[in-house]
């Protein structure tokens, strides 16, 4: 096992009302990456928004686990994160004052973010219904999109269609995200 200090850590961002609106419109992650200056170099820079928006029976459903917050991976100069407070999207970056009043980022472990992801997936799993398009987040079918055919307790029966293969499989609902 590696040194825990080498693992990913996260910074909490308290959002402005405009930042929250960007969540509802679906482009906050990309905008945060752009403001951090990583959008071109690393368009997959980790950003976690503890909200999910999806369609269910023709209605838009929004699930907020922690309304008004977003999380972004550390790894850049601290000043880059603090600069987000000068934008219209971020109210404040969670930090503390160290010796001599110098501000430093407060970080959150990857395990805590993983727990939040699981909680959010569980919330969404409760709303998985036949006909819904889903993306598998873990397991054998990870990263595949499919259509829910049926639900059976904690599992969904999902139809996957690949170029040369059609598969119907039972997948735990907590492994599914709305596509």
Domain ranges, ordered by start, for the chain = 1-126, 128-179
Q: Does domain 128-179 have CATH number 3.30.590.10?
A: no
Quote the CA–CA distance of 127 and 61 in Å, as a whole number: 9
What is the mean predicted confidence (pLDDT) over 158-164? 92
Rounded Cα gap, residues 82 and 77, in angstroms: 9
Give yes or no on whether 1-126 and 128-179 have one common fold: no
Digit-coded pLDDT (tens) for 131-141: 989 999 888 99
Task: Say if CB 170 and CB 157 are below 8 A apart.
Answer: yes
Give the alpha-carbon dihedral of 15, 16, 21, 24, to 10 degrees: 20
Q: pLDDT confidence of 1, banded at 50, 70, 90?
A: very low
The predicted pLDDT at position 3 comes to 38
The model scores a pTM over 0.85: no
Q: How confident is the model at residue 95 (pLDDT cuts 50, 70, 90)?
A: very high
Tokens of 70: 């977003």
Helix axes 28-36, 17-25, angle to 10 degrees: 120
Q: Say if residues 38 and 76 touch (Cβ distance below 8 Å).
A: yes
pLDDT in tens, 24-67: 888 999 999 999 999 888 889 999 999 988 777 777 888 888 99
Alpha helices in the chain (DSSP H): 17-25, 28-36, 78-82, 110-125
pLDDT (0 to 100) of residue 169: 94
| Percent over 70 (pLDDT), the chain | 96
CA distance 176 to 132: 11
Q: Which CATH number fits domain 1-126: 3.30.70.940, 3.60.140.10, 3.30.70.980, 3.40.50.300?
A: 3.30.70.940
User: Shortest CA distance to 95 belongs to which of 87, 85, 105, 86?
Assistant: 105
pLDDT band at residue 99 under the 50/70/90 scheme: confident
């Amino acid at each position: 096992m590696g040194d825990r200090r080498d693992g990913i850590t996260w910074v909490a961002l308290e959002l402005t009302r405009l930042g929250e609106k960007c969540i509802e419109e679906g482009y906050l992650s990309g905008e945060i990456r752009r403001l951090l200056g990583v959008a071109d170099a690393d368009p997959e820079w980790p950003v976690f928004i503890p909200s999910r928006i999806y369609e269910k029976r023709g209605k838009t459903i929004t699930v907020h686990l922690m309304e008004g917050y977003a999380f972004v991976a550390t790894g850049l100069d601290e000043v880059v994160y603090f600069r987000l407070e000068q934008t219209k999207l971020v109210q404040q970056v969670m930090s503390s004052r160290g010796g001599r009043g110098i501000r430093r980022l407060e970080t959150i472990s990857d395990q805590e973010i993983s727990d939040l992801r699981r909680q959010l997936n569980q919330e969404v799993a409760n709303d998985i219904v036949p006909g819904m398009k889903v993306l598998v987040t873990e397991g054998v079918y990870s990263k595949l999109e499919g259509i829910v055919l049926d639900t059976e307790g904690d599992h969904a029966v999902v139809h996957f269609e690949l170029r040369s293969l059609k598969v119907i499989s039972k997948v735990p609902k907590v492994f599914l995200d709305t596509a």
